[in-house]
Structure 1
Amino acid sequence: MVGHGFMGAAHSQAYRVAPRFFDLPRTPVMQTLVGRDGAATRAAADRWGWASTSTDWREVLDDPTIDLVDIVSPGSTHVDIAVAALAAGKHVLCEKPLANTVAEATRMAEAARDAATRGVFAMVGFTYRRVPAVTHMRDLVAAGRLGTIRQVRAQYLQDWLVDEDGPMTWRLDKDLAGSGALGDIGAHAVDAVEFITGQRLDAVSGLLHTFVTERPLLDTSVVQTGLGGAAGSERGTVTVDDTALITAKLSGGAIGSFEATRMATGRKNALRIEISGSAGALAFDLERPNELELYDATRPATELGFTRVLVTEPEHPYFAAWWPTGHTIGYEHAFSHQLVDLVRAVDAGVQPTPSFADGLHVQRVLDAVERSSASGSAWIDTEPDGESERDSDHEGVSA
């Protein structure tokens, strides 16, 4: 695994836990953790259970015992690591968004396409697909329970940048992160809606805004838990967006509205999705991850209303491996489900989803939103010549 920050912890948890709850055809071995700082990497490896460490990701490509390279480092590093790993015959799991630019994502998708012909596969980590309630939404839509999908509304609301004196991090540097709220959390909203509906965003109109353009730089000589330093007196320039607003036309005729923001005061990690169809509606909020709201418009008028569905039955996606009915699961479990689906697909010799082609499509959506915002919110097509390389998200069987 390359990187050992927030996502490193989440992925490590999955490698440790998933094989103990799910019957997997192969058991992951946590062999090598890669980071820039040797001491920090060794400390993380000891904490999470990695056998060895390295400060050079190229070393793992020469290790014949390594089958999978997991990339959880900043977006600017994804393309070089992923392309080299695939060329070396390693399967790849790469965090979202796939890259920082369409050109980088295209290189990665082409490398993955070539590798797949050799039985080497790549997957991008849009983990919220593996929240059981979200997967169940996809299954209900695919079964026709909502009829014709007409509208989608998606919000991803956070507030960790509300304080204008909150320090600069790599996520606020376009060279490292690619974009701000748009790519970091807006990408999740886009992928989740496309996964649930089976429709893709064909055209978008976007508005990006940065409320706080300068923030204190970190003084790394002063250690502050979780940040790697304390805010100093010198300020740096924020080069990404704080908030993204998107209107979209979907391939199946639906229209959508999307919001991704780190400025929603009081909202910590609220991914909210509502799908409205001719025969019903579904609503989900990540702050209540084990619940869905289901509206069945075919019921008698005297029985209409949104019904709370507790998604904890063994018949629900992934839940049979966990706890008895009503015993809920949390944020980290989706990473276990992601690993389960990846291992099973690789073992079966089939392409895991979402693929790098899917990740490239989302990258094109993000790019179209940026270009739209720069042009005064004009409508921009997301795919060149209307073509798409996306894999079918309604195929396959969830765990």
Structure 2
Amino acid sequence: MGGKDIRVGMVGYQMMGKAHSHAYRDVPFYFDTDATPKLQAIAGRDEEKVASAASKMGWSSYETDWRRLIERDDIDLIDIVTPNNTHADIAIAAAEAGKHVICEKPLGLTLEQSQKMLDAVKKTGVVNMICHNYRFAPAVQWAKQLIDEGRLGKIYHIRATFLQDMLMDPNFPLIWRLKKDVAGSGTLGDLGAHIIDLARFLVGELSEVTGMTETFIKKRPLGGMTSNLKPEIESHEYGDVTVDDAVAFLARFENGALGTFEATRYARGNRAGNRFEINGEKGSVRWDMENMNNLQVYLEDDERGLQGFRTINCTEEEHPFAGNYWPAAHIMGYEHTFINLMSELMNGIAKGDSPEPHFEDGVKNQAVLEAVETSAREGQWVDVSKLLDAVRL
């Protein structure tokens, strides 16, 4: 256990709250970081539920108002795991109070709102991060290292998907993720944001996009989800779905690469089909989150007759983060991506630097999301850089 305690205040306590809480608790078990997270307090509106969550997940105290959490002088870091329409208010208030901030994705409801969040953390100099945990799978980090070392040569293509089937039932309730005023966008911002971030991380900045979206089921019964993520219908009344169910778009990258992207919750048989393939002049890599420890690698300079994709189990100590866990091939899971991310956050806070992905990455991801929405609405290619230039005026 290293460094000073970083006293964490988390707003929210559902699925992402569980993932973040678990990560904070396990960081000192696996990593010798320059600072150590301390589960100081969580906030939620329902006192009975937030008290129960605090007890179960190991938090020392709780609040029923996030503003009170930010006011406390025994909190160093604010962690935001709430619906998207609350991100900006909480993050800006936290930054203005001198608290470091980590926020779930997407950063804000809009590009303009996300930029205000970035401005706030820049003005106060607090350490900030956005929680794109898939970057922190050792196999993804290894793919990044191969690309950066030039092992694949010039990159030509990325194909990225995030396929789910959670909305196939037309009686699945109208949860907050299906309401534009709460979520900002639908599958695009929830799943598409992840593959956009991975593409930017691995290949580079996107320059222009053209896309389409579709909402297959326009009305759903009113309701929500239970604490264990089971759908819960609360009324016989129906409400309008105001976001996309599925999105597909093409992209050009600043380095000349081409990209194809698809995200949907209507791909029967796919629970979490977060996948990419990247092709370069000297080789290719493939990754599938449902088999997240493995990276498939093809290298053109292998001798003829032995060429083909090989499967690398990225659990050796040479693979980023993997050496902090178990012996080779003793498999890691989804939760370890959060532990890896939080270890970087702790080191960043100790050094006073914001680890990637930070709020600036969140703004750049948001620009792509907004460009895709604009393209789908207007039926034309949209320049991502122009959107960023406009919001920063």
| C-alpha contact 1:202 1:386 (8 A) present in aligned 2 | no
Instruction: Tell me the residue number matched to 1:373.
Output: 376
Matched with 2:100 is 91
Question: Could you say which residue in structure 2 is the equivalent of 1:101?
Answer: 110
CA distance in 1, matches of 2:115, 2:358: 12
**Partner Cα distance (2:277, 2:232) in 1:** 39
Q: Is the 8 A contact 2:174 2:224 kept in 1?
A: no
Of 281, 300, 303 in structure 1, the residue corresponding to residue 306 of structure 2 is 303
**CA shift digits 1:163-206 (9 cap, x unpaired):** 11111101101111111100001000000111112x11110001
Q: Distance in 2 between matches of 1:225 and 1:299?
A: 48
CA distance in 2, matches of 1:347, 1:386: 31
Q: Does 1:191 align with 2:201?
A: no
Partner of 2:229: 226
- Secondary structure of the residue that 1:249 maps to in structure 2? strand
Quick one: which amino acid aligns to residue 63 of structure 1? Answer: R
Give 1:302 deviation, angstroms: 1.2
Identity %: 42
The answer to whether structure 1 residue 156 and structure 2 residue 162 are counterparts is yes
The offset of 1:311, in angstroms, is 0.5
Correspondence 1:1-399 to 2 at 5 A:
1-116=10-125, 120-197=126-203, 199-218=204-223, 226-227=229-230, 229-376=232-379, 378-384=380-386
Q: Specify the code of the residue in structure 2 equivalent to 1:133.
A: A
What letter corresponds to residue 246 of structure 1 in structure 2?
F
* Paired residue secondary structure (1:317): coil
| Aligned mates of 1:386, 1:37 — CA distance in 2 | 38
Whether the 8 Å contact between 1:208 and 1:373 is mirrored in structure 2 is yes
Structure 1 contact 123–353 (Cα < 8 Å) conserved: yes
Deviation of 1:62 (Å): 1.6
**What do residues 179-236 of structure 1 show as CA deviations (whole Å, max 9, x unaligned)?**
1100001000000111112x1111000101000111111289xx79634743532111
Structure 1 stretch displaced more, 240-249 or 22-31: 22-31
- Look up the match of 1:395: none
Which range moves more in the overlay, 107-116 or 134-143?
107-116
Provide closer, same or farther for how the CA distance between residues 228 and 271 of structure 1 changes in structure 2, counting only shifts above 3 A. closer
Structure 1: state its 5+ residue gaps.
390-399
TM-score, normalised by the number of residues in structure 2: 0.94
Q: Which has the higher strand share?
A: 2
Query: SS where residue 27 of structure 2 aligns?
Result: helix
Q: 2:108 aligns to what SS in structure 1?
A: coil
1:133–1:290: 8 Å Cα contact kept in structure 2? Answer: yes
SS in 1 for 2:270: coil
Mean Cα deviation higher: 57-66 or 278-287? 57-66
Deviation of the 1:352 alpha carbon: 1.5
Per-residue deviation, 1:345: 1.1
Match of residue 394 from structure 1 = none
Once the two structures are TM-superposed, the CA of residue 149 in structure 1 deviates from its matched residue by 0.1
CA contact (8 A) 2:15 2:228 kept: no
Aligned residues: 383
- Output the amino acid matched with 1:381: D
CA distance in 2, matches of 1:225, 1:361: 32
Determine the C-alpha separation between the residues in 2 that align with 1:335 and 1:224: 20
TM-aligned CA distance change 1:113 to 1:247, over 3 Å: same
Distance 2:35 2:307 in 1: 47
Secondary structure of 1:301's partner? coil
8 A contact 2:153–2:283 mirrored in 1: yes
Distance 1:53 1:224, change over 3 A: closer
How far apart in 1 are the matches of 2:252 and 2:234? 42
After TM superposition, the structure 1 stretch with the greater mean CA deviation from structure 2, 39-48 or 211-220, is: 211-220
- Measured in 1, the distance between the counterparts of 2:236 and 2:105 equals 32
* CA displacement at 1:385 relative to structure 2: 7.3
More displaced 10-residue stretch of structure 1: 226-235 or 309-318? 226-235
- The Cα shift of 1:388 comes to 11
Separation of aligned partners in 1, 2:224 and 2:371: 36
Q: In the aligned structure 2, how far is the partner of 1:224 from the partner of 1:27?
A: 28
Structure-2 change in CA distance of 1:228 and 1:300 (3 Å): closer
CA distance in 1, matches of 2:217, 2:148: 42
Contact 2:209-2:381 at 8 Å conserved across structures = yes
| Amino acid paired to 2:24 | Y
Q: CA deviation at 1:242?
A: 0.5
